Amino acid sequence: MAKRKSVLREYLEIILVAALLFFFIRTDVVQAFRIPSESMEDTLLVGDFLLVNKFIYGARIPLTEIQLPPWRDPQPGDVLVFPYPRNPEQAFIKRCIAVEGQTVEIKDKVVYVDNEQVSDPSYAKYEDQTIKPAARSSRDNWGPKVVPKGRIFVMGDNRDYSSDSRYWGFVDKETVVGKAFIIYWSWARQNIDPELLWSSSQPLESMASLVQILGYSIVHIPWRVRWNRIGRFIE
């Protein structure tokens, strides 16, 4: 008759399996991402917290450089997270407009791909009615240019106030982290919100700052959380 596992061992095994699953899911299936700027308004707002599907474009096996085959490549309309080409330490989020081989042109703010007008996303917006000529800016008039092999052309949904492919070029498809798919939390931040002041050389002051922020957040939850955005799928 086999020996019965001790309760302690059973709990340790459960915790270990849960930790491994969390590690795998967190690093290679989904990843949390916070919206820091207005460039994707009104699709995504500052203070939205997203989950990013990393599996769809090819997950990496933990602790290795091995990448699994992707379900599919990025497609026009996907909202992508990727390292900013000019500073790979900084994560950007934009919408894919065109992929390799497609021709992109912007004429007086209107986007064309392969000579066909592209409909704006549901919550995209233009806040500046001025049309800037190509000689002055690439914002409203750009191209036509063919997207190179292995590259993607991206734009923010806040078309007049987004740093994107119109200014710094194409995104390497291989660097794309994943596809944003759901908002799991949304906090309407204000300028009066306290900032976390954390320093390893000042542990007491750091802990006091953390306690202040936690208390402030709990008190303000009822009217600062955008409850209607939680659970919203990103289109």
Active site residues: 39, 94
Residue 52 and residue 49: Cα distance in Å, rounded? 10
Buried b (16+ CB within 10 A) or exposed e, 116-154: eebeebeebeeeeeeeeeeeeeebbbbbebebeeebbbb
233 bridge partner residues: 182
- Hey, what amino acid is at 3? K
Helix (H) or strand (E) holding 26: helix 7-28
Contact indicator for 73, 99 with CB cutoff of 8 Å: yes
Residue 29 and residue 231: Cα distance in Å, rounded? 18
Residue 50 and residue 101: Cα distance in Å, rounded? 30
Task: Output the CA angle 56-70-26, nearest 5 degrees.
Answer: 45
Picking from 94, 131, 137, 124, the residue whose alpha carbon sits closest to that of residue 109 is 131
